[in-house]
Amino acid sequence: MAYKDEKLSEEKVFKDPVHRYIHVRDKVIWDVIGTREFQRLRRIKQLGTTYLVFHGAEHSRFHHSLGVYEIVRRIVDDGFDGRPEWNQEERLVTLCAALLHDLGHGPFSHAFEKVFDLDHEKFTQAILLGDTEVNAVLTRVADDFPQKVADVIGKTYPDKLVVSLISSQIDADRMDYLQRDAYFTGVSYGHFDMERILRVMRPAEEQAVIKYSGMHAVEDYIMSRYQMYWQVYFHPVSRSAEVILTKILHRAKHLYESGYIFKQEPGHFRSFFDRTFALEEYVALDESILLTYFQIWMKEDDPILSDLCYRFINRRLFQYAEFDPATEYRKIGELEQLFAEAGIDPEYYLLADSSSDLPYDFYRPGEENERLPIYLQMPNGELSELSRSSDIVDAVSGKRRTDHKLYFPEDLLEAGKETNPLYGRILKLLKG
Ligand code: NI
C-alpha cells in the first residue's frame, strides 16, 4: 500500500480540553507528530509573555497545531467528503499544512524575530524543505509533497479553497486559537459556536463560504476575535513583559558586538549575534533555553542586562502611560533628555509600543494586503459579502484601532525621587 494511504491499525486520540478528542488515523500524520521539529513546539508557548498576566496561559504551540489539524480534519472528512475532485493526496496536503502551519515559530517569537530580524514563516518553509525529520516523512509521500505543503502555508497553492481553510478571515487557525486562548486564559470572551460554523461551511471555488442561516454564528466569531485582541492579545501588561524581553536580547547583542566578556559564554546566541546561524541551531532553541540565559545574565556585571533579566524573571515589569505619537512627539524628546540627564539609559528604559488590529475587512482590490472577505451563500445561491448583510460586522469592518503606550520603570523613579529631583520631574511628565 502507498504510504499516503496507510492507516494506523488502531485510531490514536489525543485528549484535548477544547475539542475533547483529536483523532489520528493516517500513518503520515502520526509520523509527522513524532518528528523532533514538531515535538519542539511543546517547548514554545502559544501566547509568549501572556502567562505573566493570565497565569493559565501556559499552553504551547503543540496544543494549537493539533487543534487546527482537528478542525481541518473535520471539515475535509465530514464537510467535503464525497466531492469528486477531493482525493487522498489533496486531503493529506491540507491536513499536513494545518498541522505544520506554525512549525517555524521560535522562542518568544515576536521579540526574538524583532531583535534578530527573522521571520517565522520563512523558517516554516525552511524546516519543511530542509534536511529535517519532517521533510523526510513528507518526502515519503511523494518527492514534491513537502513543496505542496509549503505552498499551502505560503498561500501560493493553486487550490485556493485549501489555502482558505488554513488562512483566511474565517479559518481553522483562528477558530482554534480564539477558543484555546480563551480556555487557557480563563476569560469569558473568545467563545463562539464552532460546531454551528462547521455545519454551515460550504466549499466554493476560491474559498469556503457560509450558508446564510449561519450568519449569526459568524458574527459571534468576529466579535469574539475583536474582544480577544483587546482583552488578551494586546494586554498592556504582557506587552510590558515583551518590551523588556526585547530589550534583554538587544542588550545582550549590543554587549556581544562591543566586545563585552560574558561571565558565561552565550553559546546558543553567538551565531545569532553574528548572523551566521544554521537551521539546525534555530531548531535547537526553545523557551527554556532563553529563560536559563536570563537567570544566568541576572548575575552579569553589566547593570542594564542584569536589571532587565531580574525584572523579567521576577515579574518586576515596567509601568505604562497612554501617549499619542502624532501630538506628543515633543514630549518623548523631552523625556529622553531627562532620562539621559538622570543617568537612566532611555534606549532601554523609555519605550514606546503600539498595537493595532483590524477585526474584519471587506474586499478592497488593488490595495496592499488584499484579504478575501467572508461570503454568505444566499437562499438564491448567490454569494454576498458578510458586512452587507450584517449590521454588527459592518460596524467593525475595515476599522483599524491602534493603541500607543509608553513604558518606563516607575518603581525605580518612585524609589529615587526624594534624592534625585530629576526622577520626580520625569514622573510628573509621564503621568501628568
Ligand atoms: Ni496558528
pLDDT at 365 over 80: no
pLDDT at 323 over 70: yes
102: CA distance to ligand 1 center in Å? 5
- Calpha distance 56→59 (Å, rounded): 8
215: CA distance to ligand 1 center in Å? 24
71: CA distance to ligand 1 center in Å? 12
Residue 121: how many other CB atoms lie within 10 Å: 17
pLDDT at 79 over 80: no
- Cβ-based neighbours of 60, under 8 Å, separated by 6 or more: 41, 42, 43, 44, 45, 46
Residue 147: how many other CB atoms lie within 10 Å: 16
The pLDDT of 190-217, averaged and rounded, is 92
195: CA distance to ligand 1 center in Å? 19
The pLDDT of 224-235, averaged and rounded, is 92
pLDDT at 432 over 80: no
| pLDDT tens for each residue of 117-141 | 999 999 999 999 999 999 999 999 9
64: CA distance to ligand 1 center in Å? 7
pLDDT at 172 over 70: yes
C-alpha cell at position 211: 450558508
- Calpha distance 253→364 (Å, rounded): 41
pLDDT in the model for residue 246:
96
pLDDT at 328 over 90: no
Angle between the 88-100 and 145-153 helix axes, to the nearest 10 degrees? 60
248: CA distance to ligand 1 center in Å? 26
67: CA distance to ligand 1 center in Å? 9
- Calpha distance 70→67 (Å, rounded): 5
Residue 427: how many other CB atoms lie within 10 Å: 18
The pLDDT of 183-208, averaged and rounded, is 92
46: CA distance to ligand 1 center in Å? 9
pLDDT at 372 over 90: no
- Residue of 72, 17, 64 lying closest to 38 (CA atoms): 64
274: CA distance to ligand 1 center in Å? 30
pLDDT in the model for residue 85:
67
- Calpha distance 228→234 (Å, rounded): 8
The answer to pTM > 0.85 is yes
- Calpha distance 90→253 (Å, rounded): 44
